[in-house]
Amino acid sequence: MGRTIVAGSRVLLDAPPAPRFGEIWAWSNDDGEVVVHRCLGRSGDRYRFQGDARKELDPPVRPAQIIGRVVAVEHGGRTRPIGRRDRSLGTARLLALNVARGAYRAVVPQRWRVALRRRR
């Protein structure tokens, strides 16, 4: 989760009815690992999540996999609540990332993208 939640932090969870856009939630993936990422919304009967620092979306998450919403983070002996500000800033970063990615795909032809990747 990049800037919002540092790797290795402990999180306090709450169990509201359903994930909403921009909220940070914990869920269990198919391997049984706990993942903490931001909700992008619902697609059919599943939810879509993406980490703030990740480029790709997570696989769709079933409601049974969801553990709870993150309400506070503990790191380095300090506990900090996750509030409206974190939701707004994180959502803005994610939206900017996805808009930039979409613009890049619309402007740069596929053959150029492959050539650029090979150079790196």
The predicted-structure confidence for 19-75, as pLDDT tens digits, reads as follows 988 889 999 999 999 999 989 889 899 999 988 777 788 999 999 999 999 999 898
pLDDT above 70 for 104: no
User: What CATH number should be reported for the domain whose range is 10-119?
Assistant: 2.10.109
pLDDT at 17: 83
The pTM (predicted TM-score) of the whole model is 0.69
pLDDT at 49: 93
Helix, strand, coil fractions of the chain, as percent rounded to 5: 30, 35, 35
Domains of the chain, residue spans: 10-119
Q: What phi, psi does 6 have (nearest 5°)? A: -75, 140
Find the distance separating the first CA and the last CA of the chain, reported in whole Å. Answer: 25
pLDDT at 47: 96
